[in-house]
Amino acid sequence: MRRALRILCIVIATLPLGGCWDRREVNELALVMAKGVDLTDDNHVRVTVQVALPSQVGGSQSGSGKGESGKSFFLVSATGRTVSEADWHIQQKLPREMYLPHLRILLIGERMAENGMEDVLDHFGRNPPNRLRTTILVAKHSDAAPLLQSTYPLESLSGEAVRKLERQLTGSNKTLMDFLIEAAGEGIDQSASAVELIPQEESERTSDEDSDIFRFSSTGIFRDLKLIGYVQGPETVALQWLNQRLRRTTLTCPVPNMHGTISVELTQARRRAYTYVHGNDVTVKYVLLGTAMLTENETGLDADNPKTVQRFQIGLNKYVESIMLKCLEQVNRDMNADPTGIGQLVYHQHPYLWPKLKPMWRQTLPHIHYIIDSRVQIIEGGKSGPPLYGKPQHGIRSSQGNTTDSLEGDTDD
């Protein structure tokens, strides 16, 4: 018994004496929510971190209401030859330990991206606190730091706002892991969503303050880890779709032989891809699948009529095919990059032919033939069939007749 007590005492004493104590309280941490990486003029790395102020962000504990309802974060910035060195210099300015695992977005300044990502990417793939789930973004026409500076009214942390913005638009985030997979992959170039700061429009302003607001509209295209350009507008959607990253989006397209447009909400967007190789001649076939719901119908046709829906569907698919083609031509011909991974498709589908194509893939890219087959189905016509207010000039009377002839005859005038 006595012996046992002695052993117990020794064991208990060794626990704290070992000094094996990596306990960190939450209030000893500086939670980094966003990180910007820029290139300085003297070719150094400037890292800017957005550190959350928990007392401003979290549910207000009644004890700590200090009144200053200012920003819920602050920025710390430092330079260094590498990201790690810059991080260390930041740590010198922070009384709390810089805590990286909760990093939500990694913003790459445009200059840094254009200069090439090789030098910084290693740090993010190697240093354990960095999580590969971090969203990677490119700051369009700007450095990263000014974007991190700005506040966003809806979210207390602007980093979080940016991340949610991307997710809202396309339904998914491009994470560091995706980017690294693309960087390591065979026959594929990298792309990342680009965010830019634009001045607030007059109608959006609530106060006299002149504040800028984020916008997502384009995707940065990389070639060999260097930013070479952006695709804009609908082509961004097309690129996401071709990369199978699109979850949902809204498309607005004209209807053939009609005035007015329709808008649809696209869900379950998928694509199938096939490649055909004849010597140096590469053909890629994309089959685009998805379901759509009509959200707006400006043509005045009765959306309950299956024939009408079919016409809408034809128009929608034509539009989809056109944006796909535009996007592919832009990235493959103009930029000579392969962000949709056609090379990878060839590699997967014709593994024996790829070694021959690989050395001259950059030369082959602009001459690829495209077959695009869009098979999106409109499955729902929305809440009402014909427009509720009854547009007399188009189609309603005739669509009651329920024949295609009268419908077409009507639209002719």
Partner 1 sequence: MNLEQAENITTWIWFTGGAMRKIRKPKSLIPKAPIVEIEHPIVEPQSVETVFLSTDLAVNEAELRREFENCSDVVLRSITCTDSNGRAIHMLVVYVDGLVDSKQLDENVLEPLLLRQLPTKDLTPALWIRDFLSEHTLPIAQTDVLTEISQIVDSVLRGAAVILVDGDRAALAAALPGWERRGIEEPPSEPVIRGPREGFIETLRTNTAMIRRRIRSPRLKMIHMTIGDLTKTDVCVAYIEGIAQKTVVEEVKSRLQRIQIDAVIESAFLEEFIEDQPRSPFPQLQNTERPDIVCANLLEGKVAIFTDGTPFVLLAPAIFWGALNANEDYYQRTYMASFLRILRISFMMISLLFPSLYVSMTTFQQEMIPTSLLLSIAAAREATPFPAVIEALIMELIFEALREAGVRMPKQIGQAMSIVGALVIGQAAVEAGIISAPMVIVVSITGIASFTFPRYNVGVSIRLLRFPMLLLAGLFGIYGMAIGLFIIIVHLVALRSFGVPYFTPVGPTQFSSLKDVFVRVPRWAMQRRQDGTTGENSLRIPSGQSPGPNRGNGPPRKRLSRRRQGAT
What is the binding site for partner 1 (CB under 8 A)? Answer: 1, 3-4, 7-8, 15-16, 21-27, 29, 31, 33, 52, 54-64, 99, 101-102, 104, 129, 131
Q: How far apart are CA 124 and CA 132, in angstroms?
A: 8
Q: Which is nearer to partner 1, 24 or 93 (CB)?
A: 24
For the CB of residue 106, give the shortest distance to partner 1 in the complex, in Å: 15
Q: Which is nearer to partner 1, 37 or 103 (CB)?
A: 103
Interacting residues of 322 by C-beta distance below 8 A, sequence separation 6+: none
Nearest of 31, 150, 36 to residue 100 by alpha carbon: 31
For the CB of residue 64, give the shortest distance to partner 1 in the complex, in Å: 5
Q: Which is nearer to partner 1, 4 or 184 (CB)?
A: 4
Q: Which is nearer to partner 1, 1 or 154 (CB)?
A: 1
Q: Which is nearer to partner 1, 134 or 411 (CB)?
A: 134
Q: How far apart are CA 365 and CA 54, in angstroms?
A: 50
Q: How far apart are CA 74 and CA 52, in angstroms?
A: 7
Q: Which is nearer to partner 1, 129 or 256 (CB)?
A: 129
For the CB of residue 104, give the shortest distance to partner 1 in the complex, in Å: 7
Q: Which is nearer to partner 1, 12 or 314 (CB)?
A: 12
DSSP string for 328-386: HIIIIIIS---TT-HHHHHHHH-TTTHHHHGGGHHHHGGG-EEEEEEEEEEEE--S-SS
For the CB of residue 98, give the shortest distance to partner 1 in the complex, in Å: 13
For the CB of residue 202, give the shortest distance to partner 1 in the complex, in Å: 33
Q: How far apart are CA 112 and CA 118, in angstroms?
A: 10
Q: What per-residue string of b and e applies to 147-181 under the rule 16 or more CB within 10 Å gives b?
A: bbbebbeebbbbbbbbbbbbeebbebbbbbebbbe
* Beta-strand relationship, 105-108 and 29-39: parallel
Q: Which is nearer to partner 1, 134 or 275 (CB)?
A: 134
Q: Which is nearer to partner 1, 151 or 295 (CB)?
A: 151
Find where tokens 């710390």 sit.
76
For the CB of residue 245, give the shortest distance to partner 1 in the complex, in Å: 22
For the CB of residue 99, give the shortest distance to partner 1 in the complex, in Å: 7
For the CB of residue 20, give the shortest distance to partner 1 in the complex, in Å: 8
Q: How far apart are CA 205 and CA 225, in angstroms?
A: 38
For the CB of residue 67, give the shortest distance to partner 1 in the complex, in Å: 14
Q: How far apart are CA 302 and CA 124, in angstroms?
A: 54
For the CB of residue 22, give the shortest distance to partner 1 in the complex, in Å: 7
* Beta-strand relationship, 226-232 and 212-223: antiparallel
Q: Which is nearer to partner 1, 46 or 104 (CB)?
A: 104
Contact 179, 136 (CB under 8 A): yes
Q: Which is nearer to partner 1, 27 or 207 (CB)?
A: 27
Strands lying side by side in the sheet with 248-254 = 248-254, 261-278, 281-297, 369-380
Q: How far apart are CA 22 and CA 29, in angstroms?
A: 13
Nearest of 270, 232, 245 to residue 340 by alpha carbon: 245
Q: Distance of CA 22 to CAs 16, 25, 394, Å?
A: 11, 10, 74
For the CB of residue 53, give the shortest distance to partner 1 in the complex, in Å: 9
Q: 3-state secondary structure string, 24-60? A: CCHHHEEEEEEEEEEECCCCCEEEEEEEECHHHHCCC
Tokens representing residue 57 in the block = 């962000």
